[in-house]
Amino acid sequence: MEDTFAKVEELVGNLKEYAANRADEVKLNTAEKTAKLMSYLIAITIITAMVLFFILFMALALSVYLGQLLGGLQWGLLITGGLLLLLIFLLWVLRARVLQYPIMNALLRQLYNQQDEEDEQD
């Protein structure tokens, strides 16, 4: 009888250790996915900022060029502003198809890529 109690206590100890190890694994996986997602978001933010600066400088260059062609900087700025307004309007109309879905897909792909790699390793 005493032997049975010792085995039950050992089993309970093993189950507690297993639960603690499993909790640690979940914490580590969550931390790893969060770190990967954050690094991805930071990289996208930096690239987006660089693209915005590029667009800004190209718009300024186009404004100056058109201003020289048309004889007044104000005309170049006005035309470039109109083109940018048209671009903003198109992005607003197509925002789901052009912005929301690709961003959601990229984030989901980033999150579930890690899961696929873990499944392949097991």
Query: pLDDT tens across 36-90, in order?
Result: 888 888 988 999 999 999 999 999 999 999 999 999 999 999 999 999 999 999 9
Distance of alpha carbon 23 from alpha carbon 9, whole angstroms: 21
The answer on pLDDT for 95 being more than 90 is no
Neighbours of 65 (CB within 10 A): 12
Q: How far is CA 78 from CA 58, 62, 67, 72, 73, in A?
A: 15, 11, 9, 10, 9
Q: How far is CA 96 from CA 36, 79, 84, 103, in A?
A: 25, 27, 19, 10
In this prediction, residue 16 carries a pLDDT of 92
In this prediction, residue 121 carries a pLDDT of 63
Share of the chain above pLDDT 70, in %: 92
Q: What is the mean pLDDT of the chain?
A: 87
In this prediction, residue 101 carries a pLDDT of 85
* Distance spanning both ends of the chain, measured CA to CA: 40
